[in-house]
Chains A and B, each alone.
Chain A
Amino acid sequence: MTKSLTEDQEKRIAATLKRIRAGLSGAAGDHFGEPSHLFDPEAHDVAKPR
């Protein structure tokens, strides 16, 4: 059985999430801009001759 997290680990996680959320909350930029996730269906079509 997986051990539960220690107090130190929980503090570290809380600090990490606080830092990330503080940064992300200020996000403005291009309101209509699409996230830069990559999705290239053709790249996965390995059967297709290239």
Chain B
Amino acid sequence: MSQNLDSLTDQIRDLAEGRQAPVSLAERALARVQSHAELNAFVAIDEEIVMTQAKAAQLRWQNGAPLSPIDGIPIAVKDNYLTRDYATTACSDAAPLEPAGVDATVVANLRAAGAVIFGKTNMHEWAYGATNTTSNVGVTKNPHNPAHITGGSSGGSGAAVAAGVVAAALGSDTGGSVRIPSAACGIYGFKPSYGRASRHGVLPLSWSLDAPGPMATELQDIVHLMPYFLGADPKDRSTAHAKPFGSLPDVGPLKLINLTGAGLERSAEVDGAVNAALRQSAAQVEQRTLQDIDRYFAAWEAILHCEASAYHQPLLQTRAEGFSPVTRAHLEAGTRLTGVELLTAQKLRGDLIRYLTTDLGDWDALVLPTLPVPAPAHGEDWQEFGNRRVTTQDSMTWFCWLGNLSGLPCVTLPIAKSSKGLPIGMMLMGRPGADEALLAAALRIDHTLKSKG
């Protein structure tokens, strides 16, 4: 794995100071794709498409007229975002193979700012899983140890950033798919609040749970990218009242709530790392027990399967064999849930949001590990921790789904390494719509932890 990676923030500074040029950034990224080919992070990359964008950006910088501070910076894109130049396959044989000819809104925003849309990254088929081991182009490998998984479903984006191919990449998150591979690969990942980021052009998994989000080398990189994600988009009605990304608020003393309880178990190693980080955070930390996890998880799973089945009905009826066996089983399960069950799930969803935002009182961030275990090895079907034995798939979404069911913004920070040298991440959840406040709190904590080594 590459060490001392250039962050997006470094690249912005270097471009502004003339110490880097878009063409050299693109050439270096293309070389790193080759040198890290064993990770299988990319589904599609076209050198000509990349260099054409980079040369245009370089000309703009030479003319003193860059489109933005990120003009000419390569950014990789998960293969469920529509992109003008590349096909969008969701790593499934059930998807059409023709380029859409249009960009997803987030991609369009980045392209308008001059970012080099670098290539499409490997993902768990249709984002319907969190291991990145089900993909029609094969598994993705973890840059920290290729014998281990990246997590998913944005596993290619996680591997590409962690290996230093690109400083930042796009992911999408329905039950943790930005945060899971970010934590497993030791980088930063952010899931915006529901209703603030446009999902237009990102192939849906579950409309009301999905969120597009950035994955990057440093937390400040996320701050640089948020303006391209947040704000009203007429093509996504959920964002009708969305505010654009604002300035980060000043944060006073932080109050964190460390959530525990049955269903929130984690390995001793992960628990130790999170507790150590909280002790060092200089924040006020209160521990609270979250009840009824099994009910809330059932609500998340019911909504997920019902919405995914509804979206995929046409393909399910005409190209069902194109789905992997497990994905098809998920979709069929969704067709067998009733309307009453879906509404019961939505009622539980409201209960959870009220509990987290109101009943827990005043807080700046809710804290959980991002994953209960470090990245599992390829071929491990089960994980054991805290007197639990669960599938590797379930272990990956163990905590993260809470952020999607509630719609709260979430960020994962790398906080430690395991005894085997694998990254451990800590997740912070913020108040709904308060993405800037969450980032401000996360920056404070990240800075404090780094300053204490």
Contacts and interface: CB of A to CB of B under 8 A. Distances in A.
Given A24-B341, A36-B353, A2 B295 contact: no
Contacts, number: 105
B336 A13 contact: yes
B333 A27 contact: no
A29 interface: yes
B301 interface: yes
B330 interface: yes
Contact of A40 (B232, B237, B296, B325): B237
B304 to A, nearest CB: 10
A16 B305 contact: yes
A42 B395 CA distance: 40
B351 A19 contact: no
Contact of A43 (B240, B325, B336, B347): B240
A43 B332 contact: no
B204 to A, nearest CB: 15
B228 interface: no
A23 interface: yes
B383 interface: no
B371 interface: no
B131 to A, nearest CB: 15
B350 A34 contact: yes
Interface string B263-301: 000000000000000000000000000001011111101
Given A12-B326, A12-B329, A27-B344, A35 B349 contact: yes
Contacts of B295: 23-24, 26-27
Interface residues of A, number: 32
B448 interface: no
Interface string A35-47: 1111010111010
Contacts of B237: 40, 43-44
B329 A19 contact: no
A35 B343 contact: yes
B262 to A, nearest CB: 13
Nearest to B298: A23
Interface in B312-369: 316-318, 320-321, 325-326, 328-330, 332-333, 336-337, 341, 343-351, 353-354
Nearest to A13: B333
A50 B302 CA distance: 35
Contacts of A44: 237
B238 interface: yes
B234 interface: yes
A5 B328 contact: yes
A6 to B, nearest CB: 7
Interface of B: 208, 232, 234, 237-238, 240-241, 292, 294-299, 301-302, 305, 316-318, 320-321, 325-326, 328-330, 332-333, 336-337, 341, 343-351, 353-354
